[in-house]
Amino acid sequence: MTASAHDDPAPHPHATAEEVEAALKDTKLAQVLYHDWEAETYDEKWSISYDERCIDYARGRFDAVAGDQPLPYERALELGCGTGFFLLNLMQGGVAKTGSVTDLSPGMVKVALRNAEGLGLPVDGRVADAETIPYEDNTFDLVVGHAVLHHIPDVEQSLREVLRVLKPGGRFVFAGEPTTIGNFYARWLGRVTWETTTRVTKLPFLADWRRPQAELDESSRAAALEAVVDLHTFDPSDLEKIAESAGAAQVHAATEEFAAALLGWPVRTFEAAVPPEKLGWGWGRFAFTGWKTLSWVDEKILRHVVPRGFFYNVMITGVKPGN
Protein backbone atom coordinates (compact mmCIF):
# COMPACT_ATOMS: atom_id res chain seq x y z
CA MET A 1 0.00 0.00 0.00
CA THR A 2 1.58 3.27 -1.11
CA ALA A 3 0.48 6.77 -1.94
CA SER A 4 2.09 9.70 -3.65
CA ALA A 5 3.74 12.48 -1.67
CA HIS A 6 0.98 15.03 -2.52
CA ASP A 7 -1.48 13.01 -0.41
CA ASP A 8 0.61 13.72 2.69
CA PRO A 9 0.39 16.70 5.07
CA ALA A 10 2.35 19.83 4.19
CA PRO A 11 5.52 20.74 6.13
CA HIS A 12 5.22 23.21 9.01
CA PRO A 13 8.70 24.78 9.16
CA HIS A 14 8.41 27.23 12.08
CA ALA A 15 6.74 26.46 15.40
CA THR A 16 5.42 29.30 17.55
CA ALA A 17 6.03 29.49 21.29
CA GLU A 18 2.40 28.41 21.82
CA GLU A 19 2.84 25.37 19.58
CA VAL A 20 6.02 24.43 21.42
CA GLU A 21 4.15 24.65 24.71
CA ALA A 22 1.40 22.37 23.39
CA ALA A 23 3.98 19.92 22.03
CA LEU A 24 5.54 19.53 25.47
CA LYS A 25 2.45 17.47 26.32
CA ASP A 26 2.16 15.62 23.00
CA THR A 27 5.18 13.57 21.98
CA LYS A 28 4.14 12.94 18.39
CA LEU A 29 3.20 16.59 17.80
CA ALA A 30 6.65 17.46 19.13
CA GLN A 31 8.22 15.03 16.68
CA VAL A 32 6.47 16.69 13.74
CA LEU A 33 7.16 20.27 14.83
CA TYR A 34 10.81 19.66 15.70
CA HIS A 35 11.70 17.73 12.57
CA ASP A 36 9.72 20.01 10.24
CA TRP A 37 11.61 22.87 11.89
CA GLU A 38 14.96 21.21 11.25
CA ALA A 39 14.29 19.73 7.81
CA GLU A 40 15.64 22.44 5.50
CA THR A 41 18.84 22.99 7.52
CA TYR A 42 19.37 19.48 8.89
CA ASP A 43 21.99 18.39 6.36
CA GLU A 44 24.03 21.53 6.96
CA LYS A 45 23.69 21.30 10.75
CA TRP A 46 25.01 17.73 10.87
CA SER A 47 27.46 18.06 7.97
CA ILE A 48 25.48 15.52 5.94
CA SER A 49 26.42 15.04 2.31
CA TYR A 50 25.80 12.52 -0.43
CA ASP A 51 29.36 12.11 -1.62
CA GLU A 52 32.18 9.69 -0.89
CA ARG A 53 32.62 10.90 2.70
CA CYS A 54 29.09 10.04 3.83
CA ILE A 55 28.73 7.06 1.49
CA ASP A 56 31.73 5.52 3.24
CA TYR A 57 30.29 6.44 6.64
CA ALA A 58 26.87 4.90 5.96
CA ARG A 59 28.32 1.78 4.37
CA GLY A 60 30.78 1.47 7.27
CA ARG A 61 27.94 1.48 9.81
CA PHE A 62 26.02 -1.10 7.82
CA ASP A 63 29.02 -3.42 7.45
CA ALA A 64 30.08 -2.98 11.09
CA VAL A 65 26.88 -4.48 12.46
CA ALA A 66 25.51 -6.61 9.59
CA GLY A 67 28.82 -8.04 8.39
CA ASP A 68 29.29 -9.39 4.88
CA GLN A 69 25.97 -9.69 3.05
CA PRO A 70 25.00 -10.61 -0.54
CA LEU A 71 24.47 -7.21 -2.15
CA PRO A 72 22.56 -5.38 -3.40
CA TYR A 73 19.20 -5.86 -1.72
CA GLU A 74 16.38 -5.40 -4.22
CA ARG A 75 14.14 -3.03 -2.25
CA ALA A 76 14.87 -1.15 0.99
CA LEU A 77 12.87 1.04 3.36
CA GLU A 78 14.27 3.75 5.60
CA LEU A 79 12.22 4.26 8.74
CA GLY A 80 12.29 7.77 10.19
CA CYS A 81 14.25 8.83 7.15
CA GLY A 82 15.02 12.41 8.06
CA THR A 83 16.61 13.89 4.95
CA GLY A 84 17.35 10.42 3.58
CA PHE A 85 20.96 10.36 4.75
CA PHE A 86 21.25 6.67 5.58
CA LEU A 87 19.28 5.05 2.76
CA LEU A 88 20.42 7.34 -0.04
CA ASN A 89 24.07 6.89 0.84
CA LEU A 90 23.61 3.14 1.25
CA MET A 91 21.99 2.98 -2.17
CA GLN A 92 24.92 4.90 -3.64
CA GLY A 93 27.21 2.49 -1.82
CA GLY A 94 25.66 -0.52 -3.54
CA VAL A 95 23.54 -1.83 -0.66
CA ALA A 96 20.09 -1.51 -2.31
CA LYS A 97 18.66 -0.97 -5.79
CA THR A 98 15.39 0.84 -5.00
CA GLY A 99 14.09 2.53 -1.89
CA SER A 100 11.19 3.93 0.07
CA VAL A 101 11.33 6.52 2.86
CA THR A 102 8.93 7.23 5.72
CA ASP A 103 8.94 9.83 8.47
CA LEU A 104 6.40 11.37 10.81
CA SER A 105 7.61 14.79 9.62
CA PRO A 106 6.27 16.00 6.25
CA GLY A 107 9.22 18.36 6.00
CA MET A 108 11.74 15.56 6.29
CA VAL A 109 9.97 13.39 3.69
CA LYS A 110 9.90 16.36 1.32
CA VAL A 111 13.66 16.94 1.67
CA ALA A 112 14.48 13.21 1.45
CA LEU A 113 12.55 12.86 -1.81
CA ARG A 114 14.16 16.02 -3.15
CA ASN A 115 17.60 14.66 -2.28
CA ALA A 116 16.79 11.34 -3.94
CA GLU A 117 15.60 13.09 -7.09
CA GLY A 118 18.76 15.18 -7.19
CA LEU A 119 20.86 12.03 -6.96
CA GLY A 120 18.79 10.23 -9.60
CA LEU A 121 17.81 7.46 -7.18
CA PRO A 122 14.52 5.50 -7.52
CA VAL A 123 12.83 6.32 -4.20
CA ASP A 124 9.21 6.84 -3.14
CA GLY A 125 8.09 8.24 0.19
CA ARG A 126 5.27 8.55 2.71
CA VAL A 127 4.53 10.54 5.84
CA ALA A 128 4.00 7.74 8.33
CA ASP A 129 4.10 6.69 11.96
CA ALA A 130 6.83 4.12 12.61
CA GLU A 131 4.40 2.14 14.77
CA THR A 132 2.02 1.67 11.81
CA ILE A 133 4.12 1.42 8.65
CA PRO A 134 1.88 2.02 5.57
CA TYR A 135 3.18 -0.85 3.41
CA GLU A 136 1.90 -4.38 2.89
CA ASP A 137 3.33 -7.49 4.56
CA ASN A 138 6.47 -8.98 2.99
CA THR A 139 7.27 -5.91 0.89
CA PHE A 140 10.94 -5.15 1.60
CA ASP A 141 14.21 -7.04 1.52
CA LEU A 142 15.89 -4.57 3.88
CA VAL A 143 14.74 -1.98 6.43
CA VAL A 144 17.22 0.59 7.73
CA GLY A 145 17.20 3.58 10.02
CA HIS A 146 19.66 6.03 11.54
CA ALA A 147 19.02 7.79 14.86
CA VAL A 148 15.32 6.91 14.75
CA LEU A 149 14.51 4.26 17.37
CA HIS A 150 15.10 6.64 20.28
CA HIS A 151 12.32 8.89 18.93
CA ILE A 152 9.66 6.13 18.79
CA PRO A 153 7.38 5.76 21.83
CA ASP A 154 6.93 1.97 21.48
CA VAL A 155 10.18 0.59 20.05
CA GLU A 156 9.08 -3.04 20.26
CA GLN A 157 5.86 -2.32 18.36
CA SER A 158 7.83 -0.51 15.70
CA LEU A 159 10.18 -3.47 15.30
CA ARG A 160 7.16 -5.78 14.98
CA GLU A 161 6.02 -3.55 12.11
CA VAL A 162 9.50 -3.68 10.59
CA LEU A 163 9.39 -7.48 10.67
CA ARG A 164 5.88 -7.46 9.19
CA VAL A 165 6.89 -5.46 6.12
CA LEU A 166 10.12 -7.42 5.64
CA LYS A 167 10.11 -10.49 3.45
CA PRO A 168 11.02 -13.76 5.21
CA GLY A 169 14.79 -13.74 5.61
CA GLY A 170 14.88 -9.96 5.19
CA ARG A 171 17.19 -7.92 7.39
CA PHE A 172 16.93 -4.70 9.41
CA VAL A 173 19.84 -2.46 10.34
CA PHE A 174 19.47 0.49 12.72
CA ALA A 175 22.46 2.67 13.58
CA GLY A 176 23.18 5.94 15.38
CA GLU A 177 21.13 5.23 18.53
CA PRO A 178 22.33 6.76 21.82
CA THR A 179 23.49 4.51 24.63
CA THR A 180 22.40 5.45 28.14
CA ILE A 181 25.91 6.20 29.38
CA GLY A 182 26.99 7.84 26.13
CA ASN A 183 23.96 10.12 26.11
CA PHE A 184 24.78 11.29 29.64
CA TYR A 185 28.27 12.53 28.85
CA ALA A 186 27.34 13.80 25.36
CA ARG A 187 24.50 15.97 26.69
CA TRP A 188 26.71 17.27 29.49
CA LEU A 189 29.43 18.24 27.03
CA GLY A 190 26.87 19.89 24.76
CA ARG A 191 25.36 21.98 27.57
CA VAL A 192 28.76 23.13 28.83
CA THR A 193 29.89 24.07 25.32
CA TRP A 194 26.67 25.97 24.57
CA GLU A 195 26.70 27.91 27.83
CA THR A 196 30.39 28.76 27.55
CA THR A 197 30.20 29.85 23.91
CA THR A 198 27.06 31.97 24.26
CA ARG A 199 28.42 33.71 27.38
CA VAL A 200 31.91 34.37 26.03
CA THR A 201 30.57 35.79 22.77
CA LYS A 202 28.72 38.47 24.75
CA LEU A 203 32.09 40.14 25.28
CA PRO A 204 32.35 43.24 23.06
CA PHE A 205 35.52 42.16 21.25
CA LEU A 206 33.89 38.81 20.34
CA ALA A 207 30.53 40.26 19.27
CA ASP A 208 31.02 39.25 15.64
CA TRP A 209 31.33 35.62 16.81
CA ARG A 210 27.83 35.72 18.27
CA ARG A 211 24.78 34.67 16.29
CA PRO A 212 21.85 37.11 16.32
CA GLN A 213 19.79 36.76 19.48
CA ALA A 214 16.72 35.77 17.47
CA GLU A 215 18.63 32.77 16.06
CA LEU A 216 19.86 31.79 19.51
CA ASP A 217 16.31 32.06 20.90
CA GLU A 218 15.00 29.89 18.06
CA SER A 219 17.74 27.34 18.76
CA SER A 220 16.71 27.32 22.41
CA ARG A 221 13.08 26.65 21.45
CA ALA A 222 14.23 23.86 19.15
CA ALA A 223 16.32 22.45 22.00
CA ALA A 224 13.24 22.46 24.21
CA LEU A 225 11.44 20.34 21.62
CA GLU A 226 14.49 18.11 21.22
CA ALA A 227 14.29 17.27 24.91
CA VAL A 228 10.73 16.02 24.25
CA VAL A 229 11.40 14.07 21.07
CA ASP A 230 14.42 12.18 22.42
CA LEU A 231 12.47 9.51 24.29
CA HIS A 232 14.95 6.70 24.89
CA THR A 233 18.52 5.76 25.46
CA PHE A 234 19.62 2.14 25.18
CA ASP A 235 21.76 -0.39 26.89
CA PRO A 236 23.00 -2.59 24.02
CA SER A 237 21.92 -5.83 25.71
CA ASP A 238 18.46 -4.44 26.47
CA LEU A 239 18.04 -3.34 22.85
CA GLU A 240 18.89 -6.87 21.71
CA LYS A 241 16.20 -8.22 24.05
CA ILE A 242 13.61 -5.78 22.64
CA ALA A 243 14.37 -6.94 19.08
CA GLU A 244 14.16 -10.59 20.06
CA SER A 245 10.87 -9.97 21.88
CA ALA A 246 9.52 -8.37 18.69
CA GLY A 247 10.24 -11.64 16.89
CA ALA A 248 13.60 -11.04 15.22
CA ALA A 249 16.21 -13.75 14.75
CA GLN A 250 20.00 -13.49 14.50
CA VAL A 251 19.93 -10.30 16.60
CA HIS A 252 23.23 -8.55 17.20
CA ALA A 253 24.14 -5.12 18.62
CA ALA A 254 27.45 -3.31 18.27
CA THR A 255 28.66 0.05 19.60
CA GLU A 256 31.01 2.77 18.39
CA GLU A 257 32.28 6.29 19.15
CA PHE A 258 33.76 6.86 22.57
CA ALA A 259 36.77 9.15 22.11
CA ALA A 260 35.19 10.38 18.86
CA ALA A 261 32.02 11.42 20.72
CA LEU A 262 34.03 13.32 23.33
CA LEU A 263 35.26 15.52 20.48
CA GLY A 264 32.19 15.43 18.26
CA TRP A 265 29.61 16.80 20.66
CA PRO A 266 31.52 19.96 21.66
CA VAL A 267 32.42 20.55 18.00
CA ARG A 268 28.81 20.27 16.79
CA THR A 269 27.50 22.44 19.62
CA PHE A 270 30.10 25.13 18.98
CA GLU A 271 29.17 25.13 15.29
CA ALA A 272 25.51 25.72 16.22
CA ALA A 273 26.38 28.64 18.53
CA VAL A 274 28.55 30.78 16.23
CA PRO A 275 27.97 32.31 12.76
CA PRO A 276 28.77 29.72 10.09
CA GLU A 277 30.91 32.15 8.09
CA LYS A 278 33.39 32.23 10.98
CA LEU A 279 34.16 28.55 10.49
CA GLY A 280 36.07 28.06 7.31
CA TRP A 281 37.69 25.17 5.49
CA GLY A 282 40.37 24.77 8.16
CA TRP A 283 37.78 24.21 10.88
CA GLY A 284 35.92 21.68 8.78
CA ARG A 285 39.14 19.80 8.11
CA PHE A 286 40.02 19.80 11.82
CA ALA A 287 36.57 18.53 12.82
CA PHE A 288 36.48 15.74 10.26
CA THR A 289 40.08 14.56 10.59
CA GLY A 290 39.82 14.73 14.39
CA TRP A 291 36.67 12.64 14.40
CA LYS A 292 38.15 10.17 11.92
CA THR A 293 41.37 9.78 13.90
CA LEU A 294 39.55 9.23 17.18
CA SER A 295 37.16 6.79 15.50
CA TRP A 296 40.23 4.77 14.48
CA VAL A 297 41.39 4.82 18.11
CA ASP A 298 37.93 3.66 19.21
CA GLU A 299 37.86 0.82 16.68
CA LYS A 300 41.44 -0.42 16.96
CA ILE A 301 42.15 0.12 20.66
CA LEU A 302 39.34 1.25 22.93
CA ARG A 303 36.69 -1.27 21.84
CA HIS A 304 38.98 -4.01 23.19
CA VAL A 305 39.21 -2.46 26.67
CA VAL A 306 36.13 -0.24 27.18
CA PRO A 307 32.74 -1.93 27.89
CA ARG A 308 30.42 -1.56 24.89
CA GLY A 309 27.83 0.34 26.91
CA PHE A 310 30.24 3.27 27.38
CA PHE A 311 30.36 4.03 23.65
CA TYR A 312 27.96 6.69 22.40
CA ASN A 313 26.30 4.94 19.44
CA VAL A 314 24.62 1.55 19.38
CA MET A 315 23.73 -0.29 16.14
CA ILE A 316 21.48 -3.31 15.90
CA THR A 317 20.58 -5.85 13.22
CA GLY A 318 18.34 -8.88 12.92
CA VAL A 319 16.37 -10.86 10.37
CA LYS A 320 12.80 -11.95 9.86
CA PRO A 321 12.53 -15.71 10.47
CA GLY A 322 11.97 -17.75 7.32
CA ASN A 323 13.77 -18.08 4.01
Q: Quickly list DSSP for 60-113.
A: HHHHHHH-S--S-EEEEEEES-TTSHHHHHHHHTTSEEEEEEEES-HHHHHHHH
pLDDT at 40: 86
H or E segment to which residue 246 belongs: helix 236-246
Q: Please, is 201 exposed, middle or buried when counting C-beta atoms within 10 Å of its C-beta (0-12, 13-18, 19+)?
A: middle
In percent, the amount of the chain with pLDDT more than 90 equals 76
35-44, 122-131, 254-263, 286-295: range with lowest mean pLDDT: 35-44
Examine residue 72 and say whether the peptide bond preceding it is cis (omega within 30 degrees of 0): yes
In a domain, 218, yes or no: no
pLDDT at 272: 86
> Residue 1: which pLDDT band, with cuts at 50, 70 and 90?
very low
Q: Taking a C-beta distance cutoff of 8 angstroms, is the pair 59, 80 a contact?
A: no
Per-residue pLDDT at 36 exceeds 90: no
- Dihedral, CA atoms, 81, 56, 166, 232, nearest 10 degrees? -50
> Residue 5: which pLDDT band, with cuts at 50, 70 and 90?
very low
Residue 152 CA to residue 28 CA, distance in Å, equals 9
Q: Taking a C-beta distance cutoff of 8 angstroms, is the pair 259, 180 a contact?
A: no
| Total domain count, the chain | 1
Q: Which domain holds residue 61?
A: 17-180+231-258+308-320
35-44, 138-147, 159-168, 250-259: range with lowest mean pLDDT: 35-44
Residue 81 CA to residue 128 CA, distance in Å, equals 10
Q: Residue 317 in 3-state DSSP?
A: strand
Residue 66 CA to residue 171 CA, distance in Å, equals 9
Residue 174: phi and psi, rounded to 5, are -120, 130
pLDDT at 37: 79
Q: Taking a C-beta distance cutoff of 8 angstroms, is the pair 174, 148 a contact?
A: yes
In a domain, 28, yes or no: yes
Residue 210 CA to residue 222 CA, distance in Å, equals 18
In a domain, 108, yes or no: yes
In a domain, 42, yes or no: yes
Q: Taking a C-beta distance cutoff of 8 angstroms, is the pair 16, 29 a contact?
A: no
pLDDT at 41: 86
Q: What single string gives the DSSP state of each residue in 171-239?
A: EEEEEEEEBHHHHHHHHHHHHHHHHHHHHHTTSGGGGGGSPPHHHHHHHHHHHHHHHHH----B-HHHH
Q: Taking a C-beta distance cutoff of 8 angstroms, is the pair 88, 121 a contact?
A: yes
Residue 166 CA to residue 172 CA, distance in Å, equals 8
In a domain, 101, yes or no: yes
Task: Sheet with 166-178: list strands edge to edge.
Answer: 123-127, 96-103, 73-79, 140-146, 166-178, 313-319, 249-256
Residue 84 CA to residue 125 CA, distance in Å, equals 10
What is the average per-residue pLDDT within 294-319? 97
In a domain, 276, yes or no: no
> Residue 106: which pLDDT band, with cuts at 50, 70 and 90?
very high
Q: What is the CATH number of the domain that holds 32?
A: 3.40.50.150
Nearest to 225 by CA among 11, 42, 34, 40: 34
In a domain, 23, yes or no: yes
pLDDT at 4: 41
In a domain, 301, yes or no: no
Q: Taking a C-beta distance cutoff of 8 angstroms, is the pair 312, 259 a contact?
A: no
